[in-house]
Amino acid sequence: MNKCKKASNKCIFCQIVKKQIPALIIAKNNKAIALLDINPVSDGHTIIIPKKHYCDWQNTPPKVLFAIVKLSYKVIKILNKSLPIKPLGYNYVSNQGKIAGQQVFHFHLHIIPKYKENEGFKLDHGKIKVKKIGEIYKYLTI
Ligand code: 5GP
Ligand code: ZN
């Protein structure tokens, strides 16, 4: 797992929060901001970022996660009401760690509208060989 990166002048999302670089903000609350992703996977692809710097999901306090979840409801309302084509569904995604695809080490939740089955985000079930879940469960039983 990557080392958690602290806030720095180089963090692109901290710079957005401080209004040092522009962003297309569509909603906000006291702890988080929702903005359009600069490189969208689908039309309306939005990311929600906390105003304070936390490197990933695991290092974000529950109170802040809750504020992000609350803001996600607002974002969905806006996207459902105002996009030229109404999304048929959404994927809510957060990548943790470089290996999982995290590029910006300031926690963010992706909200990815879905218009067609084979476009946008998709889990790749069945593509690689994995252990039986019963075998995995043996390690995890509490
Ligand atoms: P990750 O790969 O870390 O889960 O997602 C980072 C996301 O941030 C990417 O989807 C990328 O397009 C987006 N992104 C990177 N830099 C900027 C930026 O300066 N502005 C905006 N709005 N999005 C950004
Ligand atoms: Zn940051």
- Domains defined for the chain, CATH in brackets: 12-140 (3.30.428.10)
Residue 120 pLDDT: 87
- What is the percent of the chain with per-residue pLDDT over 70, rounded to a whole number? 98
DSSP structural state of residue 4: P
Q: Is the four-CA dihedral 120, 126, 131, 133 of positive or negative sign?
A: positive
Which of 17, 25, 39, 46 best tests ligand 1's pocket when mutated (most atoms within 8 Å of CB)?
39
Residue 2 pLDDT: 57
4 pLDDT above the threshold of 90: no
pLDDT in tens, 8-18: 789 999 999 99
| H or E element in which residue 80 lies | helix 62-82
Check if the beta carbon of residue 119 is closer than 8 Å to that of residue 42: yes
- What are 55's two structure tokens? 């490197």
Ligand 2 centre from 114 Cα, in Å? 28
Indicate if 108 belongs to the active site.
yes
Residue 6 pLDDT: 75
23 pLDDT above the threshold of 60: yes
Among 95, 90, 91, residue whose Cα is nearest residue 108: 95
Residues with CB under 6 A from ligand 1: 12, 23, 35-39, 47, 95, 101-104
Ligand 1 centre from 37 Cα, in Å? 6
> Whole-model pTM?
0.95
pLDDT in tens, 118-133: 888 999 888 899 999 9
Q: Which of 45, 108, 110, 125 is catalytic?
A: 108
Distance CA 136, CA 142 (A): 13
- Categorize the per-residue pLDDT at 5 as very low, low, confident or very high, splitting at 50, 70 and 90: confident
Residue 66 pLDDT: 98
pLDDT in tens, 73-110: 999 999 999 999 999 999 999 999 999 999 999 999 99
Report in angstroms the alpha-carbon separations of 64 from 24, 51, 84.
Answer: 21, 9, 31
3 pLDDT above the threshold of 80: no
Which of 103, 105, 108 best tests ligand 1's pocket when mutated (most atoms within 8 Å of CB)?
103
As residues whose CB is below 5 A from the ion ligand 2, the structure lists: 7, 11, 13-14, 53, 106
139 pLDDT above the threshold of 60: yes
